[in-house]
Structure 1
Amino acid sequence: MVKMGARKLSFLLCVWVLLSGFCYGRFVVEKNNLKVTYPKSLKGTYECAIGNFGVPKYGGVMVGSVVYPKANQKGCKSFSDVDISFQTKPGSYPTFVLVDRGDCFFTLKAWNAQNAGAAAILVADDRSETLITMDTPEEMNAGKGDYVEKITIPSALISKSLADKIKDALSNGEMVNINLDWTEALPHPDERVEYELWTNSNDECGAKCDNLIEFLKDFKGAAQLLERKGFTQFTPRYITWYCPEAFLLTKQCKSQCINHGRYCAPDPEQDFSKGYDGKDVVIQNLRQACFYKVANASGNPWQWWDYVTDFAIRCPMKDNKFTEECSDQVITSLGADLKKIKECVGDPHADVENPVLKSEQDAQIGKGSRGDVTILPTLVINDRQYRGKLSRAAVLKAICAGFQETTEPSICLSQDMETNECLENNGGCWQDKSANITACRDTFRGRVCECPVVQNVKFVGDGYTHCEASGALRCAINNGGCWKGTQEGKVFSACIDDHTKGCKCPPGFRGDGINKCEDIDECEEKLKCQCPQCKCKDTYGGYECKCSGGLFYSKENDVCMGKYTASMSGGNFIGLIILVAAVAGIAGYAFYKIRIQRYMDSEIRQIMAQYMPLDNQPEVPNAQHHDI
């Protein structure tokens, strides 16, 4: 039987969350900073709550001037009806419209402000309370709610006290300038963004389901690219609730739950007597979660996007194809392991826990700064719930805001996503225009001034006023920042290509080595070619010296010599000495060997002659003979 634990209490309170759109779980209000820059009496940073619609400028800052309209102050009617426009005039700040809370949906206020030309909308709370999240209305009259997905301006709820101060300043004729700052609205700890999409396989829940499916189709390409390149780690999530023990045998729980009431979802049509049941949705949720688990284990987690989009197209409820058989066909067509997926799904009728759905229920409970997941769909980026329109551009902008500076993928630095601050005045960073090298690095949030690495050569410095090449190969980049001169095809450089720093003029030049190296006139300064027979001619970076009378000039010795002497000079002379020494050594060795050989032959002959006469040697006179 199902046991109720304290950790699951919020699920009991959220039994009808997907039907009513409201839950009493721990909902965390996501905030960003509102900075008043003028007037001085209001100058400071305040909190405001991000609306759950429109397109918040995650990672960016928006500057504007506040306007509190004299009519239609709650913004519930079209501003054109009262002849008010908030269109930005050339040279002026964009308009932030301040309206009062009450009488109509937050989204309608934003829609009317947007149509009147406002850049953003600030909603003044009508009571002193903790800020709440402005959400989209759950139920809209037919034909009147389609504007919600068209809202593109950002929105923020501000406290009553701040709103009253702004109104007083405006009434006194003061301009109120505000910066809406989303740069820290999402954590950005490292070079990878981790995000979750809490979703549902139900496709018969009206506009929200239609928008979710369109988002999945539209965002699929970007999501798969980011995942394949290792920039992101995506995890799909599914909300379920459980049926309290006292209601296990009711028709509602039997039709909406699997595994004996442990995992439930609302009836798609909210009618238990027709169409698909909530348990059909739970089983498909489980199959989608299992598909991801198996695909992730095989190293292809991005295939989840293919499965959910293909299933939405091929197996919709309206065509009565929301079945296991249709799901199997989609899985097979994608080449996934159907057997493993079925093993993961298990038996929905068994009175046991399903490990996958159990972990999903545990993940619904908020931890730390993240609140409980209570509404669908919910996007969680770096453990922070996303607020805003669920569209490709808006979500991609939020994901880009989750990267640590300078680690963003190129898709985040496109013109559609952000402004390149390095294009204007080089972002105030150091640059070498001649070598087209800059310390300015564009990031999603702005720019950083950081000395670059060019062709494996690291530049060092503060990045703002100074950067210089360091280490080996530094001369390959802008000649190491040193002087370089070329004349008649010869190149002279003050850069030494080693691990030393600084610049030194080469031989034949003098100067600081950085801005200037001047040719030394060796002839005029009598540094070379000073022998009596020498004639000196200065050249760029050197000199030429000629001797009169057919003599030869030795540059090494700075003297004029005869041709024979000249041939003996320098390296040739040394080479000849070595050659003569070598020949003498060989001859001496040969002479020594011959003398030794002759001496040894003579000694041996004399010894042998004592015992037997040799053919060419007479007998020894006193030799004694013995007969044998």
Structure 2
Amino acid sequence: MFTRSKERENQRKTSLTLLGFLILAWVSSIESRFVVEKNSLRVTSPDDVKGTYDSAIGNFGIPQYGGSMAGTVIYPKENNKGCKDFSDFSISFKKKPGQLPTFVLLDRGDCFFALKVWNAQQAGAAAVLVADDVDEALITMDTPEEDSVSAKYIENITIPSALIERSFGDTLKKAVKKGDMVNVNLDWREAVPHPDDRVEYELWTTSNDECGVKCEMLMGFMKEFKGAAQILEKGGYTQFTPHYITWYCPQAFTISKQCKSQCINHGRYCAPDPEQDFSRGYEGKDVVVENLRQLCVFKVANETRKPWVWWDYVTDFQIRCPMKDKKYNKDCAEGVIKSLGIDLKKIEKCMGDPEADSDNPVLKEEQEAQIGKGARGDVTILPTLVVNNHQYRGKLEKGAVLKAICSGFEETTEPGVCLSDEIETNECLDNNGGCWEDKVANATACKDTFRGRVCECPLVNGVQFQGDGYSLCKPNGPGKCKINHGGCWHESRHGQTFTACVDHEDTCKCPPGFKGDGVNSCEDIDECKEKLACQCSDCSCKNTWGSYDCSCSGDLLYMKDHDTCISKSAAQAKSTWAAVWLSLIGLAMIASGGYLFYKYRIRQYMDSEIRAIMAQYMPLDSQTEIPNHSDDRA
């Protein structure tokens, strides 16, 4: 029994050694063509350092594609490699109100790039620059192989980072140590160049869902990004293409058990064993076949002008056919295909025979696509996103990826999905982005976009504000007085409110009884003091806020329209006679109307009688003359 287990262990070690050799040979063959994504880092001060320098975007965090970030460089006196928590050294990089964001400069070495950036982010850094420790060409800072510890912080890194050359790093350190204020501008706009009205992007992915944290991240991204991707594709805003990496088995090993389990088409197209254990679970060739099927789903869907159906298939397959439930197979896949109404026969024809000793046109095309042409470089990392032929560097998360894609559109041509709250920059959370704000009306001119904040007067409850957006925004048009009284003067006293706002007026006007500019103030007019009311000899005037009260002495009654006092009995008599006269006038009008109607009816009756009598003696113009037949006798 011991001998058998030892043999099994030796076979396993041999298989893993062969697997490692094959993967190493594949990576080595393409590594020399890998192209590092660079972006500009511009120093604006001090003068002796001013200029533009190269930096390499980190492959984690969230670069601000399509925009730039200005900040001040700080080089910590302690923990300058950033491998420990900065709170242990009582160091904080959090900026104060009105202060530029902090760019922390750290040295390379002793720990993972991602850990350095995470520690700086926790201390309040807005971005991290890592200075190389050797003189060499820039490389891309990548994430380490995730374990339970690193996976926890890698997925939560949100600030951008970049590697800079050793000589440039030394220059920055000297300037900071001298006490100079080192201001820099990190620009990502060139990372996705040539914006136009359509963005082309591709995702290098895999159907394998048992490769650890990276596979889980990829599967989660696919599900989250599906909706946005389909909106962009259906609207014709993007052209998306999925890709799958395969490698080939060296000729000398094609008949080995390991290559047979990992490859199809006699070693031409291979994928690593999902569990990296040839004695159990799924085999690498299972992954290759499913990858091929997903490619064919895209091709068939694209032929019917519905390429977005690919997103439905891959997400449905992830849910319905996972490896952990032992459903990762042909039957489950075909069930998904049928449920989406895709022609299964066309899929089978596209896939061809995986046992054939010949090239598969679809997979051969994929292997050729892996080799970079031009600026992109070879694809070496799974998953990899390529936007406008430039490799995306950053967190594989819906909002971050959408920003990168949206930055490929010219300004004002981006689709609505690019202006959603999901990908806003949140610059308005800090001092309202320096824009106008009215806390009483709960209105602000600051608006976050994926390109950065803009100051535009808002639309609040159907009322459009107008102004420069920075220092002034005023409500305009119908309904403006409902919002903070249109920015005009208003005041309440004793349950009574007056306002200088008038909906149909462009300017503020003090209401009757007040005087002033209508914007800052309206003062009560003392009608009594200025002798504008109650001028009769028996009148007594009392000023009120916004009006006045007049009264008369004794039993006199004030008549406001005539500004005079009359006795109450006279007023009553006047009212009585007025009522009598109104009654008499009414009766007279009724009698006159009745008489005129009676006279009209009598006149009409007499006219009809006279016409009847005259018709007996002579024909009227309107009657036909009766013929005389007496002259017709022979």
Classify the TM-score, shorter chain. 0.5 to 0.7
Q: What amino acid does structure 2 have at the position aligned with 1:36?
A: V
- State the distance in 2 between where 1:127 and 1:534 align: 100
- State the distance in 1 between where 2:583 and 2:520 align: 46
Secondary structure of the residue aligned to 1:469 is strand
Q: Does the Cα contact within 8 Å between 1:216 and 1:305 map onto a contact in 2? A: no
Provide the residue aligned with 1:466 in structure 2. 472
- State the distance in 2 between where 1:290 and 1:578 align: 98
Q: What amino acid does structure 1 have at the position aligned with 2:593?
A: I
The structure 2 residue matched to 1:586, chosen from 583, 593, 597, is 593
- Cα deviation, residue 200, structure 1: 1.9
Secondary structure of the residue aligned to 2:343 is helix
Provide the residue aligned with 1:376 in structure 2. 382
- Cα deviation, residue 201, structure 1: 2.7
Provide the residue aligned with 2:343 in structure 1. 340
The structure 2 residue matched to 1:509, chosen from 514, 539, 545, is 514
Q: Does the Cα contact within 8 Å between 1:31 and 1:48 map onto a contact in 2? A: yes
Matches within 5 A, 1:485-524: 485-498=491-504, 500-524=505-529
Structure 2 CA distance for partners of 1:69 and 1:515, relative to 1, 3 Å: closer
- Cα deviation, residue 543, structure 1: 3.5
Matches within 5 A, 1:596-615: 596=603, 600=607
Secondary structure of the residue aligned to 2:519 is coil
- Cα deviation, residue 400, structure 1: 4.4
- State the distance in 1 between where 2:537 and 2:31 align: 108
1:349 corresponds to 2:349: no
Among all aligned residue pairs of Structure 1 and Structure 2, give the percentage whose two residues are the same amino acid: 39
Q: Does the Cα contact within 8 Å between 1:48 and 1:158 map onto a contact in 2? A: yes
- State the distance in 2 between where 1:31 and 1:540 align: 70
Provide the residue aligned with 1:48 in structure 2. 55
- State the distance in 2 between where 1:608 and 1:530 align: 78
- Cα deviation, residue 185, structure 1: 6.6
Matches within 5 A, 1:436-455: 436-443=442-449, 447-455=453-461
Structure 2 CA distance for partners of 1:235 and 1:305, relative to 1, 3 Å: farther
- State the distance in 1 between where 2:149 and 2:544 align: 83
TM-score (norm. length: structure 1): 0.66
Q: Does the Cα contact within 8 Å between 2:208 and 2:215 map onto a contact in 1? A: no
Q: Does the Cα contact within 8 Å between 2:107 and 2:130 map onto a contact in 1? A: yes
1:98 corresponds to 2:98: no
- State the distance in 2 between where 1:547 and 1:573 align: 28
- Cα deviation, residue 237, structure 1: 1.7
Deviates more, 1:283-292 or 1:399-408: 399-408
Secondary structure of the residue aligned to 2:207 is coil
1:540 corresponds to 2:542: no
Alignment gaps of 5+ in structure 1:
1-14, 612-628
Structure 2 CA distance for partners of 1:67 and 1:590, relative to 1, 3 Å: closer
- Cα deviation, residue 515, structure 1: 1.9
Secondary structure of the residue aligned to 2:521 is coil
Provide the residue aligned with 1:212 in structure 2. 214
Post-superposition Cα deviations, 1:417-465, rounded to whole Å, max 9, x if no partner, equal: x7x5444443322222333322233456653322111101111111111
Post-superposition Cα deviations, 1:359-399, rounded to whole Å, max 9, x if no partner, equal: 86797676886555454321235664222465x5xx74454
- State the distance in 2 between where 1:194 and 1:133 align: 23
Q: Does the Cα contact within 8 Å between 1:193 and 1:399 map onto a contact in 2? A: no
The structure 2 residue matched to 1:158, chosen from 155, 159, 164, is 164
Structure 2 CA distance for partners of 1:146 and 1:603, relative to 1, 3 Å: closer
Secondary structure of the residue aligned to 1:524 is coil
Matches within 5 A, 1:166-565: 166=172, 169=175, 173=178, 177=182, 179=184, 181=186, 184=189, 187=192, 196-202=202-208, 209-219=211-221, 222-224=224-226, 237-239=242-244, 264-266=269-271, 268=273, 280-290=286-296, 301-302=311-312, 304-308=314-318, 310-314=320-324, 322-328=328-334, 331=336, 336-337=339-340, 340-341=343-344, 343-346=346-349, 348-349=351-352, 370-371=376-377, 373-381=379-387, 384-388=390-394, 392=397, 396-400=399-403, 403=406, 409-412=420-423, 420-443=426-449, 447-498=453-504, 500-530=505-535, 536-545=541-550, 555-556=560-561, 558=563, 562-563=571-572
Secondary structure of the residue aligned to 2:603 is helix
Q: Does the Cα contact within 8 Å between 1:346 and 1:354 map onto a contact in 2? A: no
Q: Does the Cα contact within 8 Å between 1:34 and 1:178 map onto a contact in 2? A: no
Post-superposition Cα deviations, 1:27-60, rounded to whole Å, max 9, x if no partner, equal: 54322333435543113332201233x4355466
- State the distance in 2 between where 1:234 and 1:573 align: 90
Post-superposition Cα deviations, 1:279-310, rounded to whole Å, max 9, x if no partner, equal: 54332013234556769678794563342355
Q: What amino acid does structure 2 have at the position aligned with 1:304?
A: V
Alignment gaps of 5+ in structure 2:
1-21, 95-101, 619-634
Q: Does the Cα contact within 8 Å between 1:438 and 1:451 map onto a contact in 2? A: yes
- State the distance in 2 between where 1:379 and 1:32 align: 17
- State the distance in 2 between where 1:169 and 1:481 align: 49
Counting matched residue pairs gives 553
